[in-house]
Homo-oligomer: A and B are copies of this chain.
Amino acid sequence: MIEQFNRDGTLRHLITLANLNRTQLNALLDHAETYLVGHAHYAPREPRLLGRTVALLFFEPSTRTRVSFHLAATRLSADVVTLDGDASSRVKGETLLDTVRTLEAMHTDVFVVRTAEAGIPALLAGHIGRGKALINAGEAHCEHPTQGLLDVLTIRQHKPDIRNLCVAIVGDIRHSRVARSAAQALGILDVGELRLVGPEPLLPDTNEFDGAVRYAELEPGLRDADVIMALRIQRERMRKEAGIPSNDAYFKRFGLTAERLKAARGDVIVMHPGPINREVEISSAVADGPHSVIGRQVTNGVAVRMAVLARIAEGLSGTP
């Protein structure tokens, strides 16, 4: 297991939320709040990463997370280089580890890594030198720590008393890094009740998501929920693993509609990590309606990534 904190308590890497304590997690969320001014704007640019180089290594396609990290790093005044998945070094078959070693030799300070293979972020973090940092930007079905942070920040902003909340995650929980990181963060904050709602074959193994309650039907899963997090589904997986033949069939069973939302609390908030499949996971009326906080999640995403980068900046070696 990679040690995520330096001896002096500063953040070194962010690979997983699993071993953060409540104080550490809340400190990151509090720091993120300082970048948000009145919900409508970000605070002015900070020079914390001036002269530092942040490399975005996205070995899996992503727009929103890549752009979110890009803007977060830029707003902290970093230099940013981007390597995409099908980018040139991979054409020549260079290994991931050698790519990271090369970028490190060019004095990259922070590596932001997204990968479809489990274990890669920790593996890479274990090989980079002292005074350098790595942030997991999404790893297979396992981890997506900055997504977990932005999700609990969004929940905290709307419903600060997390110990008394009922949160329902809806969709393909089994293959979802978003669900895992959210569940970790909610667990650290002692969430009142966590529900996992989805087709039976797409619920996780019972040794995972400790303490969560499982529902194979939507309506009972939503009853009196304070927070509903819809997950993005993959059509092929839905068909092959859950036997749900079409997007319409999924929407009929698990799609969030205004009608179904009535089972939840009157002030329920509805979340989605995006990009949303309209009329599949969620109706447009709900996605764009008064309960939706999907836009806030995106805004919080940049702030959370700025906070993680800012914290990590404290432990970087050398002068920038």
- Chain A residues in the interface with B (C-beta under 8 A): 40-42, 44-45, 51, 53, 58, 61-64, 66-68, 70-71, 74-75, 79, 81, 83, 87-89, 91-95, 98-99, 101-107, 274-278, 295-299, 301-302, 317-320
Measured between alpha carbons, how far is A70 from B82 in the docked complex, in Å? 11
Please tell me if the beta carbons of A105 and B296 are within 8 angstroms of each other in the complex: yes
Whether B92 and A61, one on each chain, are in contact in the complex, defined by CB atoms closer than 8 angstroms, is: yes
**New contact pairs (15) apart from A63-B102, A105-B299, CB-CB < 8 Å:** A53-B71, A58-B88, A61-B88, A61-B91, A63-B83, A63-B87, A64-B102, A67-B103, A70-B81, A71-B106, A74-B79, A89-B275, A93-B275, A93-B277, A106-B302
User: Could you tell me the distance between the alpha carbons of A83 and B66 in the complex, rounded to whole angstroms?
Assistant: 11
A81 to B56, CA, bound (A): 13
- Enumerate chain B residues within 8 angstroms of A278, measured Cβ to Cβ: 95, 98
Min distance, Cβ A110 to any Cβ of chain B, angstroms = 14
A45, B53: Cβ atoms closer than 8 Å: no
Instruction: Please indicate the chain B residues that have their CB under 8 angstroms from the CB of A88 in the complex.
Output: 58, 61-63, 66
Q: Which residues of B contact A61 (CB under 8 A)?
A: 87-88, 91-92
CA gap between A20 and B42 in the complex, in Å = 34
**Across the interface, do B89 and A41 meet the contact criterion of CB distance under 8 Å?**
no
Task: Show 13 A/B contacts (Cβ-Cβ < 8 Å), sorted by A.
Answer: A42-B107, A62-B88, A63-B88, A63-B94, A67-B81, A68-B106, A71-B79, A71-B81, A105-B297, A105-B298, A106-B299, A106-B301, A107-B302
Question: How many angstroms from the CA of A313 to the CA of B83 in the assembled complex?
Answer: 28
Q: Which residues of B contact A317 (CB under 8 A)?
A: 40
- Inter-chain CA distance A278–B97, complex, in Å, is 12
Contacts of A99 in B (CB 8 A): 63, 275
Measured in the bound complex, the distance between the Cα atoms of B40 and A318 in whole Å is 8
**CB within 8 Å for A105 and B277 given contacts A83-B67, A319-B41:** no
